[in-house]
Structure 1
């Protein structure tokens, strides 16, 4: 494209020179008519194309119909903007006279042709680049398709044994230290499974929004996760939850926010500590959901919500949880924040918009 533009500029210059030469030949032909008429003292010729002036040897103007005059007479050919001037002289009875002829030269036609060529070339280059782009990404699209199919099949194969293991564990009816550990492991696997499932499907499946009682659903999820805290002899305090807080969003998305925040607090807190969970209604139509732990704190808050980032590799996981939470908060306009202090703990805050009676629409 750059080479063609450079070539077009050069071609435009050559076309301009060619047009100038053609105009000069026409001017010279017209010059003979003017000279002959002036010498024979006939009526001087009129022309719609050419304008001219005749001067005596002292530079005094004898005749002129020039629409535009040159700045001085020291030239043979002169191009001034869109006007071409040509000067010559002749003799009558050994007395010299000067003749200046002008012609307007327009570059619009040449500019139009060059612009048309550049536009066509740009479209052609853009089309070729687009075809090249499609050809280059096709292998990646196929690979992505195969990976999605593989993960969907793998997730389907994992869901069944997880369900069977949980059901059979309940049917055993045995409550001891070992069965509690198995239950907690199954819950961790289930939460990880749901994170990956949401991450894979979020790009091509729309999870429908619904009116959710955040207070009741939060208590439900906390009770589900209590056994994970019990395994570390942790106390979960959740008696400061305002009732009747309704929101509009996908239940699967809300579950990801609650589960990931609470399980992270459990994961990164020491044994025999506590977690404080609150849901407080404000007067401005906002409800603040917060989870406070007394664990190790976060060194770099900016990295906490980035994908595949984990401060403590010994805790395991893929580093997807808080990245998914961040994406969900962006989608549903949920403001989130973290206050942390090393070796003292962290508090995660989420500001939800409370649903009004007219069921305020939420961004899809």
Structure 2
């Protein structure tokens, strides 16, 4: 879609450039035609003035043309010119919006020069230029609107259709997830198979919540609240502890009391769950994960450290649909959502990693 849209934009600019060039040519020809008519009229009026002067008759003044008769040294004998030409080395001269035409004649063996002046009509050219500019502007607006209808609007409609589809799909997925989890609890059985099913359901729930947030984030506002990060982290660690238990991973916490920030629970859960679940996913069996919450100047720093294999390129982990390990699977969506939330609320974030030794993800929240 983007490629075809670019081609259409380029084609539009090419067409508009050709149209502008053609308009310029037409305007130039119109100006030349106007000058030619003025020159033809000046030559005709020069003949009338010259004949009247030769016959010693009164020269009838013209509304459109003015004239001057000079001696051989260009001293004016008769003149009603609006403006004197800057020099007399011309036959025709365009200067300051006037056209001057000069000719030579002899009376009683005495040479004379006659200069006829005609004010050029630039109003017509200005009108034509304004009209062409208006036509170009209307054409540009029409083409832009057409491009919007042919490219952008179908894309938005498709995006709306896909959002509706995913909303329906997510709604259909939420019900069986809830039913499966509820029935497992009602069974009251505890063995490694039930534990694996519960953990799989929890990971599916996190993925579901990521996709749901990703779809709704553009048109739903998540209300901010004064959130105690320490208490909320304990709650999420408790929820995810069974997932860590499968790999015999020990999650250790060191959390400051009364570490509060202004953040919605939905967005806080996306940050905490995605960071912890990634640490579990990429940690080796029988290792540990360290979660630390401390005060740092005017901010609250949350760090999650694992002792996995580390990250080769720390810049890519925040990008959408990028996964460090293809074998582990997933959408590559979680950390991208985390980075969006951090940028939205001014949370400083990053990751320190040594390949082969592990990674530490950190977030610096504003204190409330």
TM-score (norm 2): 0.87
1:181 has 2:210 as partner: no
Number of the residue aligned with 2:8: none
Measured in 1, the distance between the counterparts of 2:296 and 2:64 equals 83
Residues 1-364 of structure 1: pairs in structure 2 closer than 5 A: 1-32=16-47, 34-36=49-51, 38-39=53-54, 50-64=65-79, 66=81, 68-238=83-253, 240-284=254-298, 286-355=299-368
| Per-residue deviation, 1:245 | 2.1
Summarize deviations over 1:45-64 as a string: whole Å, max 9, x none.
Answer: 66675454322235444455
- DSSP-derived class of the 1:203 partner: coil
| Per-residue deviation, 1:272 | 1.4
Measured in 2, the distance between the counterparts of 1:300 and 1:211 equals 35
Unaligned runs of 5+ in 1: 356-364
Summarize deviations over 1:67-123 as a string: whole Å, max 9, x none.
Answer: 544454343212235221101122211322111122332535413322322222322
| Per-residue deviation, 1:36 | 4.8
- DSSP-derived class of the 1:248 partner: strand
Residues matched between the structures, number? 353
- What do you get for the CA RMSD once the two structures are aligned? 2.3
The question of whether the paired residues in 2 share the 8 Å contact of 1:33 and 1:45 is answered with no
Measured in 2, the distance between the counterparts of 1:160 and 1:59 equals 104
Q: Against the structure 1 CA distance between its residues 109 and 152, is the aligned structure 2 distance closer, same or farther, given a 3 Å change threshold?
A: same
Summarize deviations over 1:326-363 as a string: whole Å, max 9, x none.
Answer: 111111111111111101111111111112xxxxxxxx
Measured in 1, the distance between the counterparts of 2:62 and 2:316 equals 80
